[in-house]
Amino acid sequence: MESESVKTRALKELQTVVVRFAGDSGDGMQTVGERFTESAAIFGNDLATFPDFPAEIRAPRGTVPGVSAFQIQFGSTEILTPGDAPDALVAMNPAALKVHLPDLVDGGMLVVNKAAFTKGSLRMAGYPANPLQDPQISENYEVVEIDLNFLVLEALKDFSLNQKNKLRCKNFFALGFMYWIYSRPLETTIEFIRSKWERPYPELAKANIKVLKAGYYFGETTETARNRYMVTKAEVEAGVYRKVSGNEALVLGLIAGAAKANRDLVYSGYPITPASSILETLAAHKHFGVKTIQAEDEMAAIGIALGASYAGNLGATGTSGPGMCLKGEFIGLATSTELPLIIFNIQRAGPSTGLPTKTEQSDLTQALFGRHSDAPIPVIAANSPCDCFETSIEAVRIALTYSTPVIVLSDLYIASGAEPWKVPDPARIPTIEVPFAQEGEPFQVYRRNPETLARTQAIPGQQGLEHRIGGLEKDPFSNVSYDPANHEHMTRMRSEKIERIADSIPPTKVNGEPYGELLIIGWGGTFGAITAACSSLQAEGFSVSSLHLRHLNPLPGDLGEIMENFDKILVPELNQGQLSLLLRSKFLLDIVSYNKIQGQPFKVRELLRKIQEVLRR
């Protein structure tokens, strides 16, 4: 192919692009992924990201289990998922190529560090021969081989850093090159490098900037790549934006919710992937009056949170599956004593330790039923990184308004994924007004608000309201009661209270027509993929709508009615059919389940295939 045609094809405009950076855990792929994301966000694209870590802290260098990847989809239209398959793959070593090449779209761009394809690393990746020499690869993809090691060392030859440290900069060379490919500005990244490294390691900061630019210029001057692209700004609502990951947004929502409810926040957690960052992020928010504690285990974590709620703060805790198993008994106590409490479960793949760094949404039935006896509590789920913010606030509202523990389900996919987030106006977040009992007024522990059936809390330190609570069944005055009729009464009251939450839920939004052939019902982190698939089929004229549930217990009151307006119902879940079970039982409808249990989110194309199959039935 002559260089002429290369040039003319340059700067093709695209609506959306998916880029994946993959390399060894030590190669800094998360860092460049984050940088690419930030510059896309500030440039004005819509985007979604998905980091994919290895399970090991540092798996042996160069091996398949040690590969770390970061994927971003960005575009000039609304972006709902990080993308099914990369249009461009950066593979820093043979192991990364081995793991990720199968995902690259046909004809996609493959950027490799030629220098990393040594005999030893090929063997470690399990390649019998150098795949770059396989003609199939160059036929199927736009391969760009770059000797990163050589180029980086060249670029830094005047620097005093040692060779190892110089080579560490090569991720920024690759990033610079990709910036050139996608016509991205370098400023945001240069700014980042400066603010992070200039002070402690000025030489390193300079080197990284040098290399970043070198990568960019390398694209410009060598014309190695056949295509160059351009993705214009997305049309998004005007406003101030920032980037948030799911766990960040949960934290922001939690602090905001507590502030709007005028309660101090105590968060108590025990480290576990992928929930640890909630505790870590909150610990960095002490200047907002947030108290955090790393407990000795998950039982302690929830016990501390419950104690804090009992004493008038808002107690919250968070964990993942194995930790949830340890919280059941305390959730029962919170249910029985009717105290507010927030429990985040950032789901990961199980059972047992399972695949701790992979996503799944298989803890729904546990959230609903994971404690002894009839002890229903509200369960809500976040559906995207940004949505975590609202979900947290909704949890605070429900917990306080209905004097109840609330389980919030998120998952690894949305917890670590990131999106641009339009920062809300703090004044517009509704206040949550749930006063304590009044000193001097008559107080009865289980007197219920006639509307919500919630009890009013009196807290230690309030004069004249002294009382005792506990897990033994109580009469309305909180005296221990073995009276059979009282037990039935209290049990039904507790359940009815939870049911009443449905009265406070806004009408369910249907994506598409409110009637038709097929309704897709989803919950949690599958929102982006389902919505994207559904919208694309709608555009093609199919009679498909979708709705996504935030409230899983109680279900929205209008759900049954909506479902009746469709011939078929499809429930895609990253589990063996947990929401299906619930909906079937409640509505006696023959729901079609679509289940994927691979530790991976749905791909849009998987959903498209399934939806079309169901429509054809």
Partner 1 sequence: MAPPTLTQEILNKKDFVTPNDVRWCPGCGDYAILNALQRTFPELGIPKENFVVISGIGCSSRFPYYMNTYGFHTIHGRAPTVATGVKLANPDLSVWLVTGDGDGLGIGGNHLLHALRRNINLNILLFNNRTYGLTKGQYSPTSPVGTKTKTTPMGSIDNPLNPILFALGADATFIARTIDTNPKHMIEIFKAAHRHQGISYIEIFQNCVIFNNKTWDSVYGRQSRDDHMLFLEAGKPMVYGKTERRGVAWTGGGMPELLPMNGATPEEKGILIHDPTRTDSIYAAMLAEMQYPDFPVPVGVLRQVVKPAYDTQIQQQLHAAIARNGGKGDLRQLLYGRNTWRV
Residues that bind ligand SF4 (CB under 6 A): 57-58
Q: Which of 189, 313, 337, 391 binds its own copies (CB under 8 A)?
A: 337
The contacts of residue 287 (CB under 8 Å, 6+ apart) are none
The contacts of residue 277 (CB under 8 Å, 6+ apart) are 245, 247, 248, 415
**How many whole angstroms separate alpha carbon 25 and alpha carbon 360?**
23
Cβ 329 to ligand TPP shortest distance, Å: 6
Residue 269 binding ligand TPP, by CB under 6 A: no
11 binds, among ligand TPP, partner 1, its own copies, none (CB under 5 to 8 A by kind): none
Q: Which amino acid is at 262?
A: N
58 binds, among its own copies, ligand SF4, ligand TPP, none (CB under 5 to 8 A by kind): ligand SF4
3-class SS at 488? helix
Among 12-20, 117-125, 230-238, 351-359, which window interacts with its own copies (CB under 8 A)?
A: 351-359
Q: Which of 426, 442, 484, 506 binds partner 1 (CB under 8 A)?
A: 426
Residue 102 binding its own copies, by CB under 8 A: no
Among 87-95, 178-186, 308-316, 539-547, which window interacts with partner 1 (CB under 8 A)?
A: 308-316
**How many whole angstroms separate alpha carbon 459 and alpha carbon 453?**
19
Long-range contacts of 430-438 (CB under 8 A, 24+ apart): 430/260, 431/260, 431/261, 431/262, 432/257, 432/260, 432/261, 432/396, 432/397, 432/400, 432/401, 433/261, 433/262, 434/261, 434/400, 434/401, 436/312, 436/462, 437/462, 437/465
Residue 467 binding partner 1, by CB under 8 A: yes
3-class SS at 522? strand
| Three-state DSSP string of 527-564 | HHHHHHHHHHHHHCCCCEEEEEECEEECCCCCHHHHHH
Neighbours of 566 (CB within 10 A): 22
Q: Judged by CB, which is closer to ligand SF4: 62, or 131?
A: 62
The DSSP output letter for 198 is I
DSSP for 285-325, written as a single string: TGGGT-EEEE-SSHHHHHHHHHHHHHTTSEEEEEE-HHHHH
Residue 492 binding its own copies, by CB under 8 A: yes
**How many whole angstroms separate alpha carbon 215 and alpha carbon 248?**
32
596 binds, among its own copies, ligand TPP, partner 1, none (CB under 5 to 8 A by kind): its own copies
Q: Judged by CB, which is closer to ligand SF4: 58, or 422?
A: 58
Work out whether strand 405-411 and strand 379-381 pair parallel, antiparallel, or are unpaired.
Answer: parallel
Among 7-15, 27-35, 144-152, 260-268, which window interacts with partner 1 (CB under 8 A)?
A: 260-268
Residue 424 binding partner 1, by CB under 8 A: yes
Cβ 161 to its own copies shortest distance, Å: 35
Q: What is the spatial order of strands in the sheet that 265-269 belongs to?
A: 291-294, 265-269, 314-319, 341-347, 405-411, 379-381, 551-553
3-class SS at 137? helix
Q: Which of 59, 272, 395, 398 binds ligand TPP (CB under 6 A)?
A: 272
Q: Which residues pair with 455 in a beta bridge?
A: 448
Binding mask 274-313 for ligand TPP (x = CB under 6 A): ------------------------x---------------
297 binds, among partner 1, ligand SF4, its own copies, none (CB under 5 to 8 A by kind): partner 1
528 binds, among ligand SF4, ligand TPP, its own copies, none (CB under 5 to 8 A by kind): none
Cβ 562 to its own copies shortest distance, Å: 19
Among 202-210, 212-220, 397-405, 575-583, which window interacts with its own copies (CB under 8 A)?
A: 575-583
Q: Judged by CB, which is closer to ligand TPP: 294, or 462?
A: 294
Instruction: For the segment 545-574, give every residue that binds ligand TPP (CB under 6 A).
Output: none
Q: Which of 185, 202, 271, 460 binds ligand TPP (CB under 6 A)?
A: 271
Chain-centre distance of CA 186, in angstroms? 27
Q: Which amino acid is at 65?
A: P
Residue 470 binding ligand TPP, by CB under 6 A: no
User: How would you class 28 by CB atoms within 10 Å of its CB: exposed for 0-12, middle for 13-18, buried for 19 or more?
Assistant: buried
363 binds, among its own copies, ligand SF4, partner 1, none (CB under 5 to 8 A by kind): its own copies
Q: Which of 134, 223, 297, 451 binds partner 1 (CB under 8 A)?
A: 297
Q: Judged by CB, which is closer to partner 1: 16, or 545?
A: 16
Instruction: For the segment 40-59, give every residue that binds partner 1 (CB under 8 A).
Output: 41-42, 44, 56-59
Q: Which amino acid is at 39?
A: S
Residue 572 binding partner 1, by CB under 8 A: no
Question: Going along 9-168, which residue ranges are E strands?
Answer: 12-13, 16-24, 46-52, 67-75, 88-91, 109-113, 142-146
Binding mask 62-91 for partner 1 (x = CB under 8 A): -x-x--------------------------
Residue 125 binding partner 1, by CB under 8 A: no
The radius of gyration of the chain's CA atoms, rounded to the nearest angstrom, is 27
3-class SS at 417? coil
Q: How many residues bind its own copies (CB under 8 A)?
A: 69
Element (H, E) at 124: helix 119-125
Binding mask 328-357 for partner 1 (x = CB under 8 A): -xx-xx---x--------------xx----
Residue 322 binding partner 1, by CB under 8 A: yes
Place of tokens 């194995």: 322
**How many whole angstroms separate alpha carbon 189 and alpha carbon 181?**
16
3-class SS at 368? helix
Contact residues for its own copies, defined by CB under 8 A:
55, 65, 320-322, 324-326, 328-329, 332-333, 335-337, 345, 347, 349-358, 360, 362-363, 365-366, 368-375, 470-473, 482, 484-485, 487-488, 491-492, 494-495, 575-576, 578, 581-582, 584-586, 588-590, 596-600
Contact residues for ligand TPP, defined by CB under 6 A:
270-272, 298, 322-323, 326
